[in-house]
Chains A and B, each alone.
Chain A
Amino acid sequence: MIELKNPAQIERMRKAGRVVAETLELMRENVRPGVTTGELDRIAEEYIRKCGAIPAFKGYNGFPSTLCTSINEQVVHGMPGLRTLQSGDIISIDCGAVLDGYVGDAAITLPVGEISEDLQKLLRVTEEALMLGIPQAMKGNRLYDISHAIQTHVEAHGLSVVRDYVGHGIGRAMHEDPQIPNYGKPGRGPRLEIGMVLAIEPMVNLGTYDVKTLSDHWTVVTKDGKASAHFEHTVAITENGPEILTRS
């Protein structure tokens, strides 16, 4: 069941979203060659707690950290640790925070130092796909209108959309209905209504869309070992159209 949020609830989600957006801005300042993913995680957790919020991922189904840090061929759910970022890497940083009972969730993929042209294109197209999907999140549309807009843009650039992981509704719980695939047919899926809050998150691969999970049970990687990017916003459907709650 897709739970609708009233304006007071959306106002609370706006505040949770702001904490996430600010945390990701802080990550932009700290991602550089030589820093470890564990250090980024520490900085993020400290900032979230300073805001009076709680990291949403830590302890979620046993996930150990504040951030998911996924480097290069890692798609999502990478665990921060001792790994040191190197020039030429790309890193997806996914962050969630709970404030006043409501969750915000967003992700960005950042270049580390100088990256190849292929990777620049991967990052650019993935973020563009997210920003083309979001305007579809309005009353009267269907859910897969969002999915279709994302898929169309990605595939027009010769890249592929991950099938096995999807976005989600969000509210008091981080993962609510509906599931939001990044592929699909326009005019299909649940009707979108005012008060829905959606975490839209395309994961885009340079090679094929096949992925697998590593033996740590969390880290999702591309099967062909080629790079993957991931961008996400928490978006509320309001009277005035989609509102990005995790915009910095």
Chain B
Amino acid sequence: MHADRTNRFALTLFGLLVLLTGAAGITASAGVFGTGFSRRTLFANRVSAYIGHHGTWVWAAAAGVCLLIALAALRWILVLLISTDRAGDIPIPVSTQGTTILQPAALTGALTREIGTYHGVDSARGRIIGDPSDPEIVITITASQSADLHALHQRIETEALAHARHALGQADLPIQLDLGVSRRTA
């Protein structure tokens, strides 16, 4: 699991809960639920009364829910600290009798070396993300300022990316290509 989407979802949910709690507090305080309610103490309501009468099982259930929340939070922390979206070794079925294992670095190395020889390329970096059985290649190119970006894009697509798809035996292998331009003047 890559954490970025989880982070955004959880923080949005948390922000919404905090906002709604504040809004409920100010609404109750302003007497929107009735002036009688705004003069009551914080625990003088049905929910607090229910918890007071059924405290034994409600607090036991709350502890159970808290255990689940704590476990989920600890897993979240673990994912935040060690997660990566990079793919592991990629299996390539070559025949009915065996499978070739391709290391992602071997493929990205070959790909970036090939692109690095193209005219107008300053540097090329690559990584493979996703599940090893359904990988995606991400290539980041830095071209020189004088480079013809359109011609470079066409060449990368028809040569290097076609070679990568052929190597993995996947004609529809998803590839993300990011073209940048060097800040250095030629």
Q: Do A and B bind each other?
A: no
Binding site for A on B (CB under 8 A): none
Binding site for B on A (CB under 8 A): none
